[in-house]
Amino acid sequence: MVRVEINLKSNPAWIKVTGHCGNHLQEKIVCGSISTLVQSLYFGLKKVLNLPVCGIIKSGKFIVILPAVGEEKKREVQFALAVFSLSVKNIAKEYKCVKLVEVRG
């Protein structure tokens, strides 16, 4: 199972993706999709928005630690996070091998 945890309430905010879906072709595609989403988020924040994002990238584990952002980049970061979250939510609805946990408090 792939577990996606999103904690935007802590300081610093973070996203953690762990696990794998399985060995069937469909499960590998789902796993690759989640991996692509989190890497797109990470590199978009780091390389496109030039934010000092920290990350841990290993097989079966990806942690993104988000820096505090000023008002000038806040909307772009919120947009990127909303797209990531919505995409993962939709995948998790369709595939039981993905679990999304959003930390709310």
Give residue 10's pLDDT band: very low, low, confident or very high (50, 70, 90). confident
Give residue 105's pLDDT band: very low, low, confident or very high (50, 70, 90). low
Give residue 24's pLDDT band: very low, low, confident or very high (50, 70, 90). confident
Exposed / middle / buried, residue 40 (Cβ in 10 Å: 0-12, 13-18, 19+): middle
Instruction: Choose which CATH entry (3.30.70.1490, 1.20.58.220, 3.40.50.970, 3.40.50.800) describes domain 2-103.
Output: 3.30.70.1490
Domain residue limits, the chain? 2-103
The per-residue pLDDT for range 59-104, each reduced to its tens digit, is: 889 999 998 888 889 999 999 999 999 999 999 999 999 999 988 7
